[in-house]
Structure 1
Amino acid sequence: MEYSAILLNTPRLITIKEINEKKTNWDKKQSDSDFTEIIYIQQGCVEFVYENKPFIVQGGDLIILHPFSPIERKPYTDESFKAIYVNMSNLHINGNDKGWFTNSNNFPIIHLQEEKMEINNYLNIILREYRTQHAGYQDVISSILQAAIIKITRLLKNSDHQSVSSICFDVKKYIEENFRQELTLNHLATLVYVSPYHLAHIFKEEVGKPPIQYLIQCRIEEAKRLLKHSNLSVKEIAAMIGYENPNYFNLLFKKVTGTPPGKYRKSEISSKREVSQSLEPSMFVGRHLINAITVE
């Protein structure tokens, strides 16, 4: 079996520390091309701005900052916020000659799922060894750091983390299949392991409207279909698409379409009749010709 190393060199830890909301002790200052920074969010939320776009990250998210990455942290009130910051040098990944993650146009974030406990344990061990500096601590740090980086690199290479497009696709599909149910932004965000704020921001940018507005659109389109092709009452249709209050449904339908549901149904029925009546003469002529041919 051919052996292929993931790490071309042994990465060297520069510093590791805890960051939190009460003690704001992280600012990106490194501009050396040999430095790579990682921030692992243990709990809470914090806002970052990357390439002039705001992103909220939360517990279980891992941020990878390649050299010269244009990112800054914004003040965000969350007393539970806690993270681990790692700065290292000499990090060179096999098969990535241009640098780690430098070719990505998306925010450099991995939404860890089942791996988050393992990564969290690795970083906590490194942090403890760095603080205590017992005999052989450099060797322990070097070994654990390499293991953590290899695990993270596997995630990147296997594309296990979700891109912005895949997150939006999954949420969009889920809404289309489940719009009759009671859906909230928090519920949708939980499905794809991102914060509600982050989901609302990227979904609007990708789809053109926020998730809840897209949910309303799906419901109203289904209501229009039922008004055209069924004999269900407006109240029954409202309940079928997720609105127990028919008055609220009436207001929402009018706001979206410009017409109350009852009036919309009448106009559709009238249109059908007009089309039907316009076809009757031609149908009569057609039957007359058929009869004439039959007689001859």
Structure 2
Amino acid sequence: MTQYFLKQDVHSIFEDGLLPKLLYICDVDQAYTRLPRIMHSHDDIMEIVFIKEGKGVHVIGERKYDTRKGDLLIYNSHVLHDEMANPDTSMSVYCCGVTNLKLKGLPANHLVSEDVSYVIHSGEYADQIEALLKMMCTQAQEGKTGLVELCNYLLCALISLILQIPQEVRALTNAEESFLSNRIKDYLDENYLEDINLESIAQSLAISPFYLVHVFKEATGSSPIQYIIRRRIGEAQSLLINTDYSVTQISGMVGYDNISYFTTLFSKTVGMTPKKYRQIWTKISK
């Protein structure tokens, strides 16, 4: 028998000893991951996604990642992310939403700093991470007494384990090095729900529409108008999932007075109508 004594003078990774809280956990199979989850962010929540099977393409913050089995995706609060499975593979994931997370030296509900990769290759830790997530799912499904405490402690174990994995410092992309492209993106993020077009954006930033499109597309791979559409559709998805507003109300809230045009854009981007999308995600939450 080998007995190990834990060092009792080791400081907690959590600031002031406050423990994070698990808000939700999902075991998501290919039937749902094949639906693109368009550009969105969370104000008071951070998410941890673990890819059990398959491959995908994820845009987190300013960077595009080709993701695969065993990868951990870290969505800090307020960080935009865009999710799409590879249609040629069957991607399944665990996803958990976390709040009340405060690590020393980082903003609230941030698991990693901005200068490291938002995708972590779990490697030798994969089996342990998946086991913790599976246990959390099982406990949440069974709903027994002590569920909240048990899942929160499992969450602490998960976060502690993730922080043991060496983090990769990410190189700056051209977009991050370009002051102008960042100005354009900041403006779009602040005003995407407003009645804006290419000309009004260019006028506000005191540049020509042609140069605006060139700089932004060179940095991000999409035009400013395409970016606005994805931001609006992403916001619409969040409203469909998390509120009881009607599709007509949501259409107006994300900047489209014409419900038919909104439905067409949504269907083209997501692959189904807003009504169908809500019905599918309502089933997940039950």
Q: TM-score, normalised by structure 2?
A: 0.50
Matched, 1:162 2:171: no
CA distance in 2, matches of 1:86, 1:121: 14
Give the SS at the match of 1:56.
strand
Give the SS at the match of 2:164.
helix
Q: Which has the larger radius of gyration?
A: 1
Kindly provide the amino acid, as one letter, of the partner of residue 13 in structure 2: I
Matched, 1:15 2:15: no
CA distance in 2, matches of 1:70, 1:113: 26
Kindly provide the amino acid, as one letter, of the partner of residue 68 in structure 2: Q
Identity of aligned residues (%): 19
Listed as ranges, the gaps of 5+ residues in structure 2 are: 1-7, 172-286
Q: What's the offset of the Cα at 1:26? A: 8.0
Matched residues, number = 161
Indicate the residue corresponding to 1:84 in structure 2.
94
Kindly provide the amino acid, as one letter, of the partner of residue 147 in structure 2: Y
Cα 1:145–1:98 shift into 2, 3 Å: closer
Indicate the residue corresponding to 2:10 in structure 1.
3
Q: CA RMSD in A?
A: 2.6
Q: Which has the higher contact order (CA 8 A, sep 6+)?
A: 2
Indicate the residue corresponding to 1:181 in structure 2.
none
Q: TM-score, normalised by structure 1?
A: 0.49
Give the SS at the match of 2:163.
helix
Partners of 1:21 and 1:77 within 8 A in 2: no
Deviations 1:155-206 (A, max 9, x none): 2xxxx143456xxxxxxxxxxxxxxxxxxxxxxxxxxxxxxxxxxxxxxxxx
Cα 1:131–1:30 shift into 2, 3 Å: farther
CA distance in 2, matches of 1:58, 1:137: 31
Indicate the residue corresponding to 1:31 in structure 2.
42
Query: What are the within-5 Å matches in structure 2 for residues 249-288 of structure 1?
Result: none
Partners of 2:94 and 2:133 within 8 A in 1: yes
Indicate the residue corresponding to 1:204 in structure 2.
none
Partners of 1:41 and 1:59 within 8 A in 2: yes
Give the SS at the match of 2:154.
helix
Listed as ranges, the gaps of 5+ residues in structure 1 are: 166-296
Cα 1:132–1:59 shift into 2, 3 Å: same
Q: What's the offset of the Cα at 1:83? A: 0.5
Cα 1:2–1:14 shift into 2, 3 Å: same
Query: What are the within-5 Å matches in structure 2 for residues 129-140 of structure 1?
Result: 129-140=139-150
CA distance in 2, matches of 1:80, 1:152: 25
CA distance in 1, matches of 2:151, 2:168: 29
CA distance in 2, matches of 1:137, 1:99: 22
Matched, 1:143 2:149: no
Partners of 1:17 and 1:84 within 8 A in 2: yes
Q: What's the offset of the Cα at 1:80? A: 2.4
Indicate the residue corresponding to 2:106 in structure 1.
96
Match of 2:78 among 47, 68, 71: 68
Q: What's the offset of the Cα at 1:29? A: 5.0
Cα 1:26–1:14 shift into 2, 3 Å: farther
Q: What's the offset of the Cα at 1:76? A: 2.4
Deviations 1:99-129 (A, max 9, x none): 6256424540110111111011001100111
Kindly provide the amino acid, as one letter, of the partner of residue 81 in structure 1: M
